[in-house]
Structure 1
Amino acid sequence: MKFCNFVPEMEILIYDKAMQLEGLAVATIGVFDGVHRGHRFVFEQLADKARERKLISTVITFDRHPLSVVCPDKCPPLLTTLDERLQLLCATGVQRCVVLPFTEEMAGLAACDFMLLMRQQLGVKLLLTGYDNRFGHDRSAGFSDYVRYGQEMDMDVEALEPCNITEEDCPVSSSMVRRLLADGALDKVHHCLGRDYSLEGQVVSGEQIGMKIGYPTANLSPDTHKLLPKAGVYAVWATIGVDGPTLPAMMNIGHCPTFGGRPTTLEVHLFDYNGNLYGQTVRVRFVGRLRDEQCFADASALKAQLAKDQSDALQVLRADAEAQETVCGK
C-alpha cells in the first residue's frame, strides 16, 4: 500500500487499537470517494470550526469502502483509490487524516461504541456529520442519536451544511458522480469534482493491433476497483511516471469490436511519442469524450477514423491548454 508520493503537510495516521492521539480535534468521518466539491465544502466547514474552537482539523476515513466488507455485492467501483484520496486530501488544508482499516470487527461496532473510540483514542471533541451520514453497525442510528451519545461522552455533535452545486440544486454525492461518469458526461463530472477525472495504470503487453495500423497504443492495467468511464474514445492528457512528461493523447475504452471483441481494454495513443512504456505507470486525465466505440468494416476504415479522432482530440486539448493558461495567468 502506498500513500502520498510527496511529503504532505497533512499528518497521515493508520489507526491501530493502541492509538492515543494528543490534542483535541474537530473531525468528520466518511469514505470521501472522489473528494468532490461537496466533500471540500465539508472540509471548509471543518477548518472554520477548527479555527473557531482552536481544535485540530481531522478527517477520519477508511482504507476501503465499507460495503466491500459488509455487502461486497453492493460495493460500487471507486472514483479514487486510497492513495488518490490521500493525495487529494493533502491539498485541502486539513491538518490530520486518520485511516481506519475497515474490518468485520469494526463493521460490528455500534454507533455509540464507534463514537467512544473517536472520543477516547482520536481525541475528537467536536464531530461534524453530514445531513445524510450514518455510521455504526446496521447504520440504524441517526443524527439525534449521535447528539445524545455525544452528550454522554463529552463530545459535541453538529450537522454540516450540504453543498448544492448541480443544475437540479441537489447535493453532490459520490454516487451521482459515478452515474455521470458511467454515462460519459465528462463536463458534469468535472463540475462536480472541480477537476477532470483521472486514472492510472501500469503499461502491459497487448496484441499490438494499433502498431500494425500506425497508431501504437499503451495498454493500461488500472486498479481493479477503479471506476472506468463509459466505453468510447476520449481526448486525454497522459503523464508518464511520477515526474515524467505530460503529453497529448487519445484513449479508447472498450472491447475492440472491429477485431472480434475482447474483454474491456484501456488503450492510450500518445501523439508523437516513440519511447518504450512497458512496465511504466501512465496517468491519464480525461478532458473530452469524442465518440462511442464503433465496429468498422476493416482496419483501413478504423485507421481513417483514428486520424479524425486525433485531429479532434488535439483541438480539444489545445482548448484545454489555453484555458489552463488563462486560469494560471490570473
Structure 2
Amino acid sequence: MNDILNFSMAGSSPALQGERRRLVLGIGVFDGVHLGHRRIIEEVVKLAERSGAVPTALTFDPHPRAVLRPEEPPALLVPLTERVRLLREAGAAQVWVIRFSPEFAALEPEDFLARMLECPEFELCGICVGESWRFGRGGRGNRELLDDYARRRKIDFIACPEVRLNGEVISSSAIRRAIASGRLDAAEAMLGRPYRLVGKVEYGYGAATSRLDCPTANVSFSAGVLPPDGVYAAAAIRDGKAYPAAVNIGFAPTFGWKQAVRRLEVHLLDFSGNLYGSELGVEFLSHLREERSFSSPEELKHQIGRDIARIRDFFARRYHQPEE
C-alpha cells in the first residue's frame, strides 16, 4: 500500500471504521471526471449501497501515458487536486491515488491487480471500470481478465459501456479537442458542467490596473487546456464563491510588449481584494469576441467597458428566475 495516497471524506460512514473496511472500487484515470467517468462512479455507489461498503475511486498520478510516452505527455484537463474534488462530488467517499511509475507499468496484468487490489486492510466487494480499460504490461490486461479475476474471488464486477453524445464517444481527448477549438458548448455537454481551469494567481504586466482601471488576475496553471485567444464571459471561483468575470486569453497586442507571452487574465466584476498567490478556478461560459490590437489604451478601455456590460447582461439572462 506504499504506492497509494488516500483522500477520504470527513465524517465518514461506519464502513470506514474498524480494522477491515469493505470497499467497492471504481478504477480509471478519470481526467476531467466527465459523464462517462461519472457513470462508473454511479455504479460504484449503487454496488456499495447494496453491500454496505465504501464507494471508492482509484486513480493514477502521473497520467500513465506521461510515464509510458514521456516524449508526448497528455495535456490534462484538471490537476490532481481538482480531479479528487470532482470524484468526491460525483459520489466517491474516498479517493485513492496510485503513484504510477515505470516499475508499476511493467507489472504483468495479474501482478498489477494483486498490487492494487489484494491487501489485508480491506475486503474488496466490487469493481467497476470502463469497458475499454486496459492495464498491466503492454496493456495486456482487459475486461475479460478482470471479469475472471472477480468471478474467482466472488467479487461483483461491472464494465461500463462508453457513453456517447450525438454519436461521439465521450472521452478526455474529445473534450480537449472541443476546448482547444473553441467549442465550449460541446465540452460542457460532455463534462456535464462548464469547463473549469484551475491555477495560481501570479504577477502580470500590471497595465490592466495602472492604464485601464480594470485589475486582472494573471492565472498560471500546470494542467488544463486553453480555449482559442479572445475575450470570454466566465465565472471565477475563489474559496467556493463564484464571481462574474471577464477573461482575456492572448498576448495583449495593444501594448506591444517585447517578448510577449500568451496569458490568461481574469477580471472579477464584483470583487475587491488581493488575489496574488491564491488558487482561482475559471469556468468558461461564452465567447464574446476575438482579441485584437486597439489604436490606444483608451480605445481598449472603452471596449472593455462594453465587454463588461455584455457579461453582466449574459449573467442576468443565464441566471434569471422567472416570476411565479
Corresponding residue of 1:250: 246
Q: TM-score, normalised by structure 2?
A: 0.84
Where does residue 130 of structure 2 map in the other structure?
130
Alpha-carbon distance in 2 for matches of 1:5, 1:154: 26
Q: Deviations over 1:73-115 (max 9, x none)?
A: 3322222211111111222222332211112221211211111
Equivalent residue, structure 2, for 1:219: 218
1:72 counterpart SS class: coil
Matched to 1:217, the amino acid is T
Matches within 5 A, 1:29-48: 29-48=27-46
Instruction: Name the counterpart of 1:59.
Output: 57
Query: Which position in structure 1 is the counterpart of 2:166?
Result: 167
- 2:100 corresponding residue in structure 1: 102
Cα distance in 2 for residues equivalent to 1:140 and 1:203: 43
Assess, with a 3 A threshold, how the Cα gap between structure 1 residues 258 and 10 changes in structure 2: closer, same or farther: farther
Q: Show structure 1 runs of 4+ deviating over 6 A.
A: 2-6
| Structure in which a larger fraction of residues adopt strand | 2
* Distance across 1 between alignment mates of 2:157 and 2:302: 61
The alpha carbon displacement at 1:9 in A equals 4.5
Root-mean-square deviation (CA, aligned residues, Å) is 3.0
Per the alignment, residue 16 of structure 1 pairs with none
Q: 1:280 & 1:6 partners in 2: Cα distance?
A: 23
Q: In the alignment, what sits opposite 1:17?
A: none
Structure 2 counterpart of 1:294: 292
Which sections of structure 1, spanning at least 5 residues, go unmatched?
Answer: 14-20
| Number of residue-to-residue matches in the alignment | 312
Q: Secondary structure of the equivalent of 2:170?
A: coil
Return the TM-score normalized by structure 1: 0.83
1:145 aligns with 145
- C-alpha distance in structure 2 between counterparts of 1:274 and 1:118, whole Å: 47
Residues 59, 97 of structure 2: 8 Å contact kept? yes
CA deviation after TM superposition for structure 1 residue 301, in Å: 3.2
Paired residue for 2:262? 264
Alignment of 1:167-206 (within 5 A): 167-168=166-167, 170-206=168-204
Q: Which of 4, 7, 10 is the aligned partner of 2:10? A: 7
- Quote how far apart the aligned CAs of 1:33 are: 0.9
Q: Which runs of 5+ in 2 are unaligned?
A: none
Partner SS state of residue 86, structure 2: helix
Contact 1:203 1:277 in 2 (8 A): yes
How far apart are the structure 2 equivalents of 1:5 and 1:229? 33
**2:157 & 2:215 partners in 1: Cα distance?**
56
* AA matched with 2:10: V
What's the offset of the Cα at 1:279?
2.9
In 2: Cα distance, 1:153 partner to 1:238 partner: 48
2:241 corresponds to 1:238: no
Alpha carbons 2:248, 2:266 under 8 Å: kept: yes
CA distance in 2, matches of 1:139, 1:173: 18
CA–CA distance in structure 2, aligned partners of residues 270 and 78 of structure 1: 25
Specify the SS of the correspondent of 1:31: coil
| Secondary structure of 2:36 counterpart | helix
